[in-house]
Amino acid sequence: MTTQSNKLTLTEFPSYRPLLEHYERVKNLHMRRLFSVDSKRVDKFSIEHQDLLLDYSKNRITKETVALLCQLAKEAKLEEWRERMFNGEAINNTEGRSVLHTALRNRSNTPVMVNGKDVMPQINTTIDKVESFSDKVRSGEWKGYTGKVITDIVNIGIGGSDLGPKMVYQALEPFRHERLKVHFVSNVDGAHIDATLKQLDPETSLFIVSSKTFTTQETLTNAHNARKWFLKTALDEMHISKHFVAVSTNSEAVANFGIDTRNMFEFWNWVGGRYSLWSAIGLSVVLAIGMDHFKSMLEGAHSMDEHFRETPLEENMPVIMGMLGIWYNNFFDAESHGILPYDDYLRSLPLYLEQADMESNGKSVDRDGRKVDYATGPIIWGTSGINGQHAFYQALHQGTKLIPADFIISMLTHSEHQEQHNIMFSNALAQTEALMRGRNLDETYADIMASEKVPRDVEQRIHHMVFDGNHPTNTLLIRKLTPHSLGMLIALYEHKIFVQGIVWNLNSFDQWGVELGKQLAKKILEDINAPQATNSHDSSTNTLINYYRDIIQHKE
């Protein structure tokens, strides 16, 4: 059966013990030394794929580490699992679903079978439908109910139906249509939709209700609110069809909401929410950047898919990044991983990857329901690197936690200020160099003595100014941020997450951990609206609910 586990768990794989022994031998090696004894280190530990260069030489590894980690990946049957995914087998075993975001960007158009049926024709039909709709809106042919062209698009969605399109929309700002502005509303806090609606004219606004299930409370609440706001001016429900469209797998619920299913863009259960930006969930992005650019993003992702599928493990970017993560997570006991983009357009990438990674691999039960006895997905966090330098990098350099991090840096800017980009680039490399080398006591002393104003209390201060170094980083250079290179970058991370999920024997494609809260929220909402105070929870929750009820009932 394809969905069965690997039988052996991480700590039982034959190469686990050799890796542990190897770890004991190399854990205290300083990277500074590794660089000093090997002037070609970077050649050994870097991979280039089209517009992306991964330099992973600033990691606490030797050739033997990489060989052993790749051996571990082999023992976890990574290559077999990879084929199962690409071939449409139901590897999401707890939901009985295939995992086929790769089919959405299968630009070679070779058949991909799900339950004996090729899914490519339906993917292509939807792409055509999205293209024809977006062309109409972009050209101005699609008009609002009073005959005006659309100027504002509002994507109403949350989680996977929000974070991906929002991140891509931001990342591809230089490719956007001049007239069309996209807004993203996700938070059920009415302040979010109010702030958006305030900027809009109902006659020129188009709402995309993006929800795979079309049952998500936050999204439907906001969508109803937007509908009400629209009808306040438009008055007649017949105008809705020009201003509301849906992206969903659930045509019945879309129709119930009052959206004509001819204005619904379909996707399928074999597309996971957090992997759905390549599907019609990307409609807002297509409207903003046009189908040609969107296809270029799909092509970039497809080229990474092929790299992942065809390149030997030791030269395979997602495999190397994934296995390095395993090295720090399971041998060095690192608990988190930093995502630090040095390109302003990528400032939402950390947020996007938080979901992609933590919702996929933040699990403590393996794909067969066994409790794991090893660490799984790390905490993913980060922000725009240059801003982070002035905020939390102190802890990266001198804190007690080991925080491996990815520095993602674009080289050519879209702005007219390449010289400002030089400043950013030099800062990024200065950080990775400092994190790797550190500054020992002698060097610190020499630096102090060479400074213009030598402090009197050198002896007391000097220990605060020493940097241990040996902090691992990956450097990912992107020639220029384009739809194509962005597609590659996102697919790289998706596959990195896949690699780790396989080694940890997880189902990276379900998310049962979000269910309990949803269930309890329903009950609490009932309690808030009930005539009597509640006492059906623990004393903390009861008190908080009743305190809230009291406040909202006596607002003035």
Does the protein bind ligand G6Q through residue 508 (CB under 6 A)? Answer: no
Contacts made by residues 550-554, CB under 8 angstroms, sequence distance 24+: 552/528
Pairing status of strand 46-49 against strand 405-412: unpaired
Note whether 105 and 299 are within 8 A (CB).
Answer: yes
Measure the CA–CA gap between 491 and 210, rounded to whole angstroms: 22
- Single out the segment in contact with ligand G6Q by CB under 6 A; choices: 6-14, 130-138, 152-160, 442-450: 152-160
Residue 280 near ligand G6Q by CB under 6 A: no
For ligand G6Q, the binding residue among 84, 138, 243, 274 (CB under 6 A) is 274
Strands 113-114 and 117-118 come out as antiparallel
* Type and span of the H or E element at 183: strand 181-185
Q: Which of 155, 511, 527, 545: binder of ligand G6Q (CB under 6 A)?
A: 511
Q: How far is the CB of 99 from ligand G6Q (least distance, A)?
A: 11
Q: Which of 46, 213, 364, 542 binds ligand G6Q (CB under 6 A)?
A: 213
- If the CB atoms of residues 230 and 275 are measured against ligand G6Q, the closer one turns out to be 275
Q: How far is CA 112 from CA 99, 191, 428, 468, in A?
A: 11, 44, 41, 51
CA 494 vs. chain centroid, Å, equals: 8
The gap between the terminal CA atoms of the chain, to the nearest Å, is: 63
Contact between residue 227 and residue 185 where contact means Cβ atoms under 8 Å apart = no
Q: How far is CA 405 from CA 177, 325, 337, 438, 494, in A?
A: 34, 10, 5, 16, 17
CB of 372: closest distance to ligand G6Q in angstroms? 21
- 359 as an active site residue: the answer is yes
Choosing from 44, 136, 148, 518, which is the catalytic residue?
A: 518
Nearest approach, Cβ of 512 to ligand G6Q (angstroms)?
A: 10
Least distance (Å) between residue 511 CB and ligand G6Q: 5
Which of the following is catalytic: 89, 218, 266, 359? Answer: 359
What is d(CA 390, CA 388) in angstroms, rounded to the nearest whole number?
5
Residue 117 in contact with residue 147, Cβ under 8 Å?
Answer: no
Residue 17 vs 518, nearer CB to ligand G6Q? 518
Q: Looking at 161, 186, 376, 485, which residue binds ligand G6Q (CB under 6 A)?
A: 161
Contacts of 416 (CB under 8 A, 6+ apart): none
Nearer of residues 277 and 324 to ligand G6Q, judged by Cβ = 277
Question: Min. distance of Cβ 347 from ligand G6Q in angstroms?
Answer: 20
Nearest CB to ligand G6Q, comparing residues 284 and 389: 284
Of 212 and 484, the one with the shorter C-beta distance to ligand G6Q is 212
Tokens for 464, please give them: 């605060």
Binding part of the chain for ligand G6Q, among 23-31, 37-45, 155-163, 547-555 by CB under 6 A, reads 155-163
Q: Which two tokens stand for residue 241?
A: 């069809």
Is 160 one of the binding residues for ligand G6Q (CB under 6 A)?
A: yes
The minimum distance between CB 378 and ligand G6Q, in angstroms, equals 18
Is residue 359 at the binding interface for ligand G6Q, with CB under 6 A as the rule? yes
Q: Which stretch binds ligand G6Q (CB under 6 A): 117-125, 270-278, 450-458, 527-535?
A: 270-278
Given the residues 198, 390, 453, 464, the one annotated as active site: 390
Query: CA-CA distance, 209 to 211, in Å (whole number)?
Result: 6
Is 481 among the residues that bind ligand G6Q (CB under 6 A)?
no
Q: How far is the CB of 513 from ligand G6Q (least distance, A)?
A: 10
Placement of tokens 């109902």 in the chain: 202
Q: What six digits make up the tokens of 181? A: 């502005």
Q: Give the three-class secondary structure for 341.
A: strand
Interface residue with ligand G6Q among 211, 348, 361, 482 (CB under 6 A) is 211
- Output phi, psi for 544, to 5 deg: -65, -40
Two tokens at 121? 């024709």
Q: Does the footprint of ligand G6Q cover residue 272 (CB under 6 A)?
A: yes
216-255 footprint of ligand G6Q as x/- string (CB under 6 A) = x--x------------------------------------
Which H helix or E strand runs over 55?
strand 52-55
Q: Which residues contact 83 (CB under 8 A, 6 or more apart)?
A: 309
List 49, 138, 212, 243, residue binding ligand G6Q (CB under 6 A)? 212
Minimum CB separation from ligand G6Q for residue 148, in Å? 30
Q: Kindly tell me which residue out of 88, 144, 159, 438 binds ligand G6Q, with binding defined by CB under 6 A.
A: 159
Element (H, E) at 103: helix 101-104
Phi/psi at 71 (nearest 5 deg)? Answer: -65, -40
Q: How far is the CB of 105 from ligand G6Q (least distance, A)?
A: 17
The nearer residue to ligand G6Q, 272 or 322, going by C-beta atoms, is 272
Residue 401 appears among annotated catalytic residues: no
| 273 forms part of the interface with ligand G6Q (CB under 6 A) | yes
- Exactly one of 52, 91, 103, 158 binds ligand G6Q (CB under 6 A); which one? 158
E-strand spans in 229-295? 244-248, 264-266
Least distance CB 213 / ligand G6Q (angstroms): 3
Burial of 189 (0-12, 13-18, 19+ CB in 10 A): exposed
Instruction: Decide if residue 527 touches ligand G6Q (CB under 6 A).
Output: no
Residue nearest to ligand G6Q (CB): 159
Q: How far apart are CA 237 and CA 448, in angstroms?
A: 74
Part in contact with ligand G6Q (CB under 6 A); list of ranges 12-20, 78-86, 135-143, 154-162: 154-162
Total residues binding ligand G6Q (CB under 6 A): 14
Q: Does 92 bind ligand G6Q (CB under 6 A)?
A: no
> Nearest 5°: CA angle at 43, between 41 and 44?
65
Binding site for ligand G6Q (CB under 6 A): 158-161, 211-213, 216, 219, 272-274, 359, 511
Which residues are annotated as catalytic? 359, 390, 518
